[in-house]
Amino acid sequence: MKSRKLGQHYLVDPEAIQRIISTAGVRGNEVVVEIGTGRGALTRELKDLCGRLEGFEVDPLNLETTRRVAAAGNVTLHLADAFRARPVFDVLVSSLPYSRSADFVEWLSQLEYQRAVVVLQEDFVEKITSPPGDRNYRAISAIAQISSAIRLGEKIGREAFSPRPRVDSRIATFVPKIRLTMPQLVLIKRLFALRRRTTSSVFARLGIAPAAALADSRRRVYHLSPAEVYQIVSEARLQP
């Protein structure tokens, strides 16, 4: 089924849903976006808390289910991929399909917003919060940490979902710091594709002008801090 291919596991535990809602702390004048409405469990709780709610869902059957349980005057539902749109919002609240977690982080890093409260699989949370030098420190780690301050909330066990996933999840709150551009995202991923090489060899390989180089060019890419990675992609002048 499409939902399984997307890695969608539906929240069914009322207590877990309320923990997400409490973490989001939505106020009555805020515009809220939900990505992946699923069967409307979060939508139903959010719709009366905010000024306006926009929900995005790619599965037509799920969208119709959401319409039945959460139809209201301040709710607009879209049969669309939110990551191909640029909605304007204050708060994002979502139990994301696991397969779209990296897409979400990259998409969010380019937007202006107040906060995003999402449920992510625990191993992905470990990846985006990994420090430099860690085996899990990758491009998505740098992107997440450059663009957002990430606060980790409560764990949500796999029994809170149907079908039950193989891993536990965690509530994570993203608060924006720096908006990245698409060229910067592309360059970060190109850098980390060569993560075990020295910065000097990577700059030469990618054609990055020396003006962007750090003081110690013998360091490996995966030892660079998020701030250093941002310095590189901000100052980089690609040689023709």
CATH of the domain at 137: 3.40.50.150
Q: What is the DSSP letter of 50?
A: S
Tell me which residue range forms the domain holding 205. Answer: 182-235
pLDDT in tens, 179-204: 999 999 999 999 999 999 998 899 88
Whether 105 shows a pLDDT value over 70: the answer reads: yes
Greater confidence, 157 or 213?
Answer: 157
116 token code pair: 């995003």
Backbone angles phi, psi at 200, to 5 degrees: -65, -45
**Does residue 191 sit in the same domain as residue 138?**
no
The whole-chain average pLDDT of the chain stands at: 92
Q: Residue 209 falls within a domain, yes or no?
A: yes
Residues 85 and 111 in one domain: yes
Whether 214 and 155 share a structural domain: no
The pLDDT assigned to 217 comes to 74
Rg (CA), the chain: 19
Residue 124 and residue 194 in one domain: no
What's this model's pTM, rounded to 2 decimal places? 0.93
Do 126 and 35 lie in one domain? The reply is yes
CATH of the domain at 225: 1.10.8
Residues 24 and 47: their CA atoms lie apart, in Å, by 13
CB contact at 8 A, 144 and 203: no
Domain count, the chain: 2
Of 32, 51, 30, the C-alpha closest to 43 is 32
